Structure 1
Amino acid sequence: MLIIEGAGVWTPPAGAANDWVEHLRVPDLSVGTYCIPAGGLDNQSPHTEDEIYVVTAGRARIVTPDGTAEVGPGSVIFVPAGEEHRFDEVTEDLALLVVFGPAYGSRMAGR
């Protein structure tokens, strides 16, 4: 067992527009926190792994090719590998607990 301290907790980005911190990595999954400040822009690209976001703080809108949805604390979002997605209209500092399966970046070429 491992208690993952600080996962999903809002942390102001240090010197960058957004902040991604990985807390745990094993071959089949990774867990991290992604923070976007109010008014910030989400410039991520599609990932090679499936992912689940759990909104722990803040409010925004998620945009995918299939549509948009307003999200806030308690929202759980599944994004399949390769799907374009981004958060916009971040009206309150957004903190997301993120789970990747398998581990983030593990399906990228050369890894």
Structure 2
Amino acid sequence: MHLLQGAGLPGPTAYTEHLRVPDLSVGTYVLAVGDVDGQQPHTEDEIYVVLRGRARLWTPGLTVDVTAGSVAFVPALEPHRFVDITQDLHVLVVFGPAERSRGGEAG
């Protein structure tokens, strides 16, 4: 068992990894009001669990409002980013398999 210390709290960078094993990784992504989310598509599947805050999650085919309790799945290679951040956003991120285990970010 692993207890993830600090998950959901701001880290030294926007994304802080808390756990990595071959089949998944878990981290916290924190964006302040007005921040620009510059992430690129990942080569791994991703689940976002919004812990607090308010924003919109954009993909080419759909944009949805997200708030505390929202859970979103983004398949590998799908362009996506958080936009219109109106309350500081704290997101738990789960990658399967572990982030960058398939060669990093796409494109």
The alpha carbon displacement at 1:65 in A equals 1.3
State the superposition RMSD in angstroms.
1.3
Residue matched to 1:28: 23
How many residues get paired? 104
Equivalent-residue separation in structure 2 for 1:6 and 1:87 (angstroms):
22
Amino acid of the structure 1 residue aligned with 2:65? E
- What stretches of structure 2 of length at least 5 have no aligned partner? none
Q: 2:91 aligns with which of 77, 88, 96?
A: 96
Equivalent-residue separation in structure 1 for 2:59 and 2:74 (angstroms):
9
Task: Establish whether residue 40 from structure 1 lines up as the match of residue 39 from structure 2.
Answer: no
Equivalent-residue separation in structure 2 for 1:80 and 1:8 (angstroms):
22
Task: Establish whether residue 52 from structure 1 lines up as the match of residue 47 from structure 2.
Answer: yes
Q: Tell me the percent identity.
A: 59
TM-score after normalising by structure 1: 0.89
TM-score after normalising by structure 2: 0.92
- What stretches of structure 1 of length at least 5 have no aligned partner? none
Q: Which runs of 4+ in 1 moved over 2 A?
A: none
Residue matched to 1:6: 6
Residue matched to 1:19: 14
